[in-house]
Amino acid sequence: MVPSPFFQFNQKIKRKMSLSSPLKPVTTPCISKPSPKLSFPCNSSLATLPSKSITKSLSMDNVQASNYIELDSGSASTSASSSSSWTLPTRPGSLGASWMDIQGMKNWEGLLDPLDNNLRGEIIRYGHFVEAAYRSCEFEPSSPSYSKCRFSKRKLLVQSGFSETGYRITENLHATSGIQLPGWIERAPSWISMRSSWIGYVAVCQDKRVISKLGRRDVVIALRGTVTCLEWLENLRATLTPLSNDNAASEVGANDYSSCPMVESGFLSLYTSRVGTSPSLQDLVRQESGRILETYGDEPLSFTITGHSLGAALATLAAYDIKETFKCEPLVTVISFGGPRVGNQSFRCHLEEQGTKVLRIVNSDDLITKMPGFVIDNNEDNLTKHNNEPAPAGQMVKLLSWIQKIAEDSQWVYADVGCELRLSSRDSPYVNGFDFASCHELKTYLHLVNGFVSSNCPIRATARKLMNKSLVP
C-alpha cells in the first residue's frame, strides 16, 4: 500500500536533524517582560557545549535519580553531577517552597531571562511527557490500530522510553472531529475518515520521593500534535467562534466579537465533539479532573497541561475548561511547545482573570506559532492616551481604532496568551539547514530550551566561545 501524504509528512517531521552548521549570530530577545540585564553576557558556569545529537541526548531512560544525562558525544550517558558540566536532570530537582514560582504563580518573573535552571529542567521534563504521547501513537495508516495508543496505560511510559518518571497514567484521552463527511467518503480508505483518535493521557504523580521533591502532587495532561486527516482539516478552520455554547454568549458574540471569548473553530470542534456514545475530549478531561480533585483535593496539588502544536492549543482549552468547571484552587499551568494561536483578546483576558498560567515556548523560525489569523495591539491605555491628543494625531488614532474594530468583526484577529519564552533555531550552531519540519519538531524545541542561556547569549555554545575569548590575554 502506498503511504498517504499525511503519513509521509509525519515521517518527515520525525526524521533526525544533522548538526553541522556554523555558529549563527545572536538576534532574538526572549520574553515579553524584560528582566534586569546581566553585567557579563554569559554565566561562566554554563560553558560546556551541548549535545551533537538532539534525538538521543534528551532521553530519560534508565538513569538514576542522583545522576544526570551529560549532553556530550552524541549519546545519553550517565555521570555524576558537577557545577562545571552542562547537564540535564532526569528527575525533578528539589523545588521545595519555590514550586509555585516554577509553575508560574508570579508569571515566571525573573526566571526566563536568564533561564532559571530549575525551570529549564521542568520544561524539558514536561516535554518528555509529550514525547511519550507521540511515541505511543500508531502513525501507520495501513495498521488496524492507526491513530490508537500502542501501549496499555500501565506500561505506556515504560514502553515509550520514560520509565523513571514517578507518575502513573490514569486515563487515556481521545479527540473527535466534528466535520460532517460526505457520503462518498465511505468508499475512501479508512484512514481518511478516521474521526476519533487517541491524542494523549492523564498521569498522576504517585512516587513519594518525587512528590517530596516537587513540593506537591502533580497531575500531567499530555497531548500530541496533528496526526489524522480530519485533524489536519480541523486545523484549517481558522475563523473564531464563541467559546460558550449558551445562547446568551452566542448573541453577544454575534453583535460584538471583541467582548465575547472566542477561539479557533477547529480546535473547539476537536475538544467538544462526540461520536455516538463516545465521550468528547472535554468530557474525558472533566471526568478525570473531577475524580482527581475528589481523591487528592485535601493535599497540595497542581495541574500541568502540556502539548505540542495542535496539542498545545488543546492544552490551553483544557486548562480554561478545568478552571471554569471546578473553580478549583489548585494551580493550573500550561506548558506549550510550538503552539498556534488559540483565541481572541477576550479569551486571553478570561484566562488571566481565572488565574490560569500559560508559558508558551516559541521558536521564532516556526511558522505554526505565527498562525492562524493576525494580532493587533489592544493596549487600551495607549489608545486612550493618544486619543486625547490634538488633531491630526487624535484623528489618526480614531481611524486606527475604527480599522481595528472592522478587523475584529472579521473573526480573524487573535491574541497571544500567557508568557513567552522565545527561542530561535538560527541561534543554534548544531541545527543544520532550515526547513519547516525541523523548526516545528518537538525535539528541536527541547534542544533549544536545553541550550538557551539568556537573550544576551541565546545558546550555550556561544557562551563557551565568549568565555574562551575573555581568557585570551
Q: Would you please indicate which residues are annotated as catalytic (active-site) residues? A: 309, 366, 440
Amino acid at 390: P
Beta bridge partners, 69, equal 78, 88
Cα 130 to the chain's mean position, in Å?
9
d(CA 384, CA 390) in angstroms, rounded, equals 13
d(CA 76, CA 106) in angstroms, rounded, equals 34
Going by C-alpha positions, the residue among 332, 375, 372, 328 that lies closest to residue 352 is: 332
Sign, Cα dihedral of 163, 165, 168, 169: negative
Q: Which residue has the cell 533526525?
A: 16
Q: Are 223 and 229 spatial neighbours (Cβ–Cβ below 8 Å)?
A: no
Cis amide leading into 372 (omega within 30): yes
d(CA 194, CA 114) in angstroms, rounded, equals 44
Amino acid at 50: P
Q: What is the 3-state secondary structure (H, E, C) of 266-287?
A: HHHHHHHCCECCECCHHHHHHH
d(CA 262, CA 243) in angstroms, rounded, equals 5
